[in-house]
Amino acid sequence: MIELFEVTKRFGEEVAVDGISLRVEKGELCVLVGTSGCGKSTTLRMINRLIEHSDGEIHLNGQPVRTFDEVALRRRIGYVIQSTGLFPHWTVARNIGLVPRLLKWPRGEVRERVEALMALLGLPVAEFADKYPHQLSGGQAQRVGVARALAADPEILLMDEPFGALDPITREALQHELLDLQARLHKTIVFVTHDMDEALRLADRLVVMRQGRIVQQGPPLELLHEPVDDFVASMLGGEERGLKEAALTRVRDRMLPLGPRLLAHERVAAQAPLHQALSLMLWHRVDRLTVVDDDDIPIGELSLRRLVGSKS
């Protein structure tokens, strides 16, 4: 659990972070989102004390971070940055094993841990262990970055625009992988991004920041429905908020069981987000879709009426 109480950071005269309070529960994925220069990265880096806060208090599991030795503190917190920061002169395996080695784990355990993590992130050991970072694609490098951050099994993971430099397809794949990982590992994650789609897709709790302050925080759907002001509304997509919301809802949640009517010709997966179903309807110019499960077996149907959530 991470708690920030009235935390302020000043760089000389300039106030980068202005008295923010935030509570990230254990196992929660909290996304800080905002325009550049809003203080979200600074906030993240104050948690592992790469930047020291000027005022207020930051607690980790109820204990002020200032009371920890900063080096020991950082070894307990995973850290992933946009440019990966992999050491170019070390192999993939050595990069991943960094923190366990700093913590003086026995050699055999480090190797086992590295191999387990590489398997977890879909990096075959035989192929990647001895490669150097410059031999990796952007997506592979960022996977290594995530593996390195997870190496010593930290309770907390800080991620600073980790997928920002990747192409859209790789980025989406890694977002899904992160969600899968999180479903299994239940880390407490603070994730910084300026990409609202990414934020909505990942967040348990969404924190919108502006000029060093938190404008609004809460579950993504709550923010979508009740933005406190025009800034939050426009950050969340303005007029397109309906589509953003549809992206957060699954077809499964709106479908009806198969009725007596003939099956509609066009199909949609039950796991697909709602905006995909809407897109299919628009594309095929139909108002009814057959919902299928992972094995492509029809399990229900979705009408335009149900999709838009009309009560009648």
Q: Does 104 bind other proteins (CB under 8 A)?
A: no
Q: Does 99 bind other proteins (CB under 8 A)?
A: yes
Instruction: Output the six-digit token pair for 255.
Output: 């479908």
CB nearer to other proteins: give 11 or 87.
Answer: 87
Question: Least distance in Å: CB of 88 to other proteins?
Answer: 5
Q: Does 73 bind other proteins (CB under 8 A)?
A: yes
What is each CA distance from 173 to 203, 213, 251, in whole angstroms? Answer: 16, 31, 20
Q: Does 84 bind other proteins (CB under 8 A)?
A: yes
Q: Does 91 bind other proteins (CB under 8 A)?
A: yes
CB nearer to other proteins: give 71 or 297.
Answer: 71
- Residue entry with tokens 């957060």: 248
What is each CA distance from 102 to 8, 54, 94, 110, 151, in whole angstroms? Answer: 31, 29, 12, 10, 11
Q: Does 143 bind other proteins (CB under 8 A)?
A: no
CB nearer to other proteins: give 146 or 264.
Answer: 146
Q: Does 138 bind other proteins (CB under 8 A)?
A: no
- Out of 11, 35, 72, 258, point to the residue binding other proteins (CB under 8 A): 72
- Residue entry with tokens 């880096």: 45
- Out of 12, 89, 239, 297, point to the residue binding other proteins (CB under 8 A): 89
Instruction: Output the six-digit token pair for 280.
Output: 């299919």
Q: Does 79 bind other proteins (CB under 8 A)?
A: yes
Q: Does 74 bind other proteins (CB under 8 A)?
A: yes
Query: Helical H runs in 56-213?
Result: 70-75, 92-96, 98-102, 107-120, 125-128, 138-150, 168-185, 196-202
- Out of 9, 75, 205, 254, point to the residue binding other proteins (CB under 8 A): 75
Question: Least distance in Å: CB of 161 to other proteins?
Answer: 12
Exposed, middle or buried: residue 108 (CB in 10 Å: 0-12, 13-18, 19+)?
exposed
Which residues 32-71 are close enough to bind other proteins by CB under 8 A?
A: 45, 48, 50, 71
Instruction: Output the six-digit token pair for 266.
Output: 């066009």
User: Coil, strand, or helix at residue 191?
Assistant: strand
Instruction: Output the six-digit token pair for 51.
Output: 């930047």
Q: Does 85 bind other proteins (CB under 8 A)?
A: yes
Question: Least distance in Å: CB of 187 to other proteins?
Answer: 16
**Is the sign of the CA dihedral 84, 110, 183, 297 positive or negative?**
positive
Question: Least distance in Å: CB of 148 to other proteins?
Answer: 7
Nearest to 161 by CA among 204, 191, 203, 129: 191
End-to-end CA distance of the chain: 44
CB nearer to other proteins: give 82 or 188.
Answer: 82
Judged by the rule CB under 8 A, the positions of this chain that interact with other proteins are 45, 48, 50, 71-77, 79, 81-89, 91, 98-99, 102, 132, 134, 145, 148, 158
